[in-house]
């Protein structure tokens, strides 16, 4: 199963932990490939016809499908097992990180390695309430929990767990979203050569590193709410020989100068914020972009062009995995919000893309792990 790229910050599991991690990985694979599709069959064969008979129409949207399916015993078993797999995933990784806890910060060199790399943690940082209210995707302590100023365990837990969470589908450096967006940018804006790039909500830098590789003479910045994420991201990037300026900041209000970036982007961050934060972040992107600069946010699928059942299944994370804002975000008009944030109406578009690895697999005639089209919100200042 395991092809995650090793680096000194990635905590090695011992034999028993490794077996538990492999079990969760395989359980999630079976759930995704074999069990989850049965829900659709049950819906098509039993629930949709029954609804049609009673109401003389099909269920119109994901909310109606949800009312039906949450009473179905098979769906309930699937959902409970999916949730259990999520909890088991964190548990299986946390044991390794706790064992290595004292070694982690000793291995991490937080000094700048080049003039284009740094790590700034803000001791007075106030974590937004959309992070403190619930542990997002059930990571115990969330992205932000720190026992002391050396603590980077949140980053260590996240790095390993995301590989299992995505069943390895984000690549061996968990960097598929970053590769997807850099690839999208290069294909659509081949004449631009950005010199200053900001990745908002960078976590441990999985999606930030591809920007360094794609634009070798650009300065790359990454910000995140989690201090443990930022410290770990910096140490990880140092070992992987990538220069990035990491800092602990809220994307709603950063300390960057106005008109200073060629690109401001994020990868699967927006759905973990809130309605007011979403609006504030768009405004902040507008403020810090240079005229002619581009904002690009890749996020989880919205409802556009999706049938009611698939849309209901996409909401699973919101109702069962503490991605609470997801339901609201999917119903919002992203383009209107972007225009309200200051961008010109004719400068905003919402397009969709399959991930880089999916595109590669299709090109090579292989079966891709995911066939999801992710929305990309793009706006030029």
> Does 272 participate in binding ligand SAM (rule CB under 6 A)?
yes
Q: Do the Cβ atoms of 25 and 88 come closer than 8 Å?
A: no
Burial 225-252 (b: 16+ CB within 10 A, else e): bbbbbbbbbbbbbbbbebbbbbbbbbbb
User: Is residue 22 within 8 Å of residue 160, measured between CB atoms?
Assistant: no
Contact set for ligand SAM, span 128-147 (CB under 6 A): 128, 143
Region 167-206 residues binding ligand SAM, contact defined as CB under 6 A: 177, 200-203, 206
> How many residues interact with ligand SAM (rule CB under 6 A)?
23
Q: Which is nearer to ligand SAM, 39 or 208 (CB)?
A: 208
Choose between 65 and 223: whose C-beta lies nearer to ligand SAM.
223
Please report how close the Cβ of residue 46 comes to ligand SAM at its closest, in angstroms: 35
Q: Is 76 or 253 the residue whose CB approaches ligand SAM more closely? A: 253
For β-strands 289-298 and 374-380, DSSP reports them as antiparallel
- 282 touches ligand SAM (CB under 6 A): no
Binding ligand SAM (rule: CB under 6 A), the pick from 13, 277, 294, 296 is 277
From 252, 299, 315, 317, residue interacting with ligand SAM (rule: CB under 6 A): 252
From 8-16, 267-275, 306-314, 327-335, span contacting ligand SAM (CB under 6 A) = 267-275
Hunting for tokens 């659509």 — which residue is that? 188
Residue with token string 């905003």: 348
Among 168, 194, 226, 228, the residue binding ligand SAM under the rule CB under 6 A is: 226
Q: Does 225 bind ligand SAM (CB under 6 A)?
A: yes
Binding mask 28-67 for ligand SAM (x = CB under 6 A): ----------------------------------------
Among 4, 21, 247, 273, indicate the residue that binds ligand SAM (CB under 6 A): 273
CB count in 10 Å sphere of residue 190: 8
User: d(Cα 354, Cα 61) in Å, to the nearest integer?
Assistant: 24
Closest separation between CB of residue 26 and ligand SAM, Å?
Answer: 23
Any contact of residue 4 with ligand SAM (CB under 6 A)?
Answer: no
Q: How far apart are CA 205 and CA 186, in angstroms?
A: 20
CA trace torsion 33, 361, 13, 226 (10° rounding): -100
Q: Which of 217, 324, 232, 213 is nearest to 262 (CA)?
A: 217
Q: How far apart are CA 49 and CA 16, in angstroms?
A: 47
CA nearest neighbour of 314 among 331, 322, 326: 326
Residue ranges that bind ligand SAM, judged by CB under 6 A: 128, 143, 177, 200-203, 206-207, 223-226, 229, 250-252, 267-269, 272-273, 277
């Amino acid at each position: 199963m395991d092809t995650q790229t090793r680096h000194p910050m990635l905590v090695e599991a011992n034999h028993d932990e490794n077996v538990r991690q492999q079990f969760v990985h395989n359980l999630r694979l079976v759930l995704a490939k074999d069990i989850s599709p049965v829900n659709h069959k049950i819906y098509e064969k039993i629930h949709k016809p029954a609804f049609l008979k009673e109401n003389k129409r099909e269920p119109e949207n994901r909310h109606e499908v949800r009312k039906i399916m949450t009473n179905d015993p098979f769906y309930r078993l699937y959902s409970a097992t999916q949730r259990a797999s999520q909890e088991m995933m964190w548990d299986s990784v946390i044991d390794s990180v706790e064992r290595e806890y004292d070694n982690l910060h000793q291995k991490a060199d937080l000094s700048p390695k080049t003039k284009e790399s740094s790590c700034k943690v803000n001791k007075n940082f106030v974590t937004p309430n959309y992070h403190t209210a619930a542990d997002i995707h059930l990571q115990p302590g969330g992205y932000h929990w720190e026992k002391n100023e050396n603590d980077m365990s949140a980053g260590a837990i996240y790095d390993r767990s995301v590989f299992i969470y995505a069943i390895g589908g984000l690549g061996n450096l968990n960097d598929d979203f970053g590769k997807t967006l850099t690839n999208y940018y290069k294909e659509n804006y081949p004449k631009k050569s950005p010199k200053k790039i900001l990745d908002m909500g960078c976590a441990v830098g999985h999606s930030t590193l591809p920007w360094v590789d794609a634009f070798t003479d650009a300065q790359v910045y990454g910000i995140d709410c989690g201090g443990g994420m930022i410290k770990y991201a910096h140490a990880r990037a140092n070992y992987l020989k990538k220069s990035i300026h990491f800092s602990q900041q809220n994307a709603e209000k950063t300390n960057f100068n106005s008109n200073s970036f060629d690109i401001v982007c994020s990868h699967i961050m927006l759905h973990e914020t809130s309605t007011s934060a979403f609006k504030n972040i768009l405004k902040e992107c507008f403020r810090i972009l240079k005229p002619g600069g581009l904002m690009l946010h890749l996020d989880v699928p919205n409802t556009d062009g999706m049938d009611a059942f698939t849309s209901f299944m996409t909401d699973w994370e919101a109702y069962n995995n503490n991605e609470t804002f997801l339901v609201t975000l999917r119903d919002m008009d992203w383009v209107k919000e972007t225009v309200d944030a200051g961008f010109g109406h004719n400068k905003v578009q919402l397009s969709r893309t399959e991930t880089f690895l999916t595109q590669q697999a299709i090109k090579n005639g292989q079966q891709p792990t995911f066939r999801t089209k992710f929305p990309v919100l793009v706006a030029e200042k």
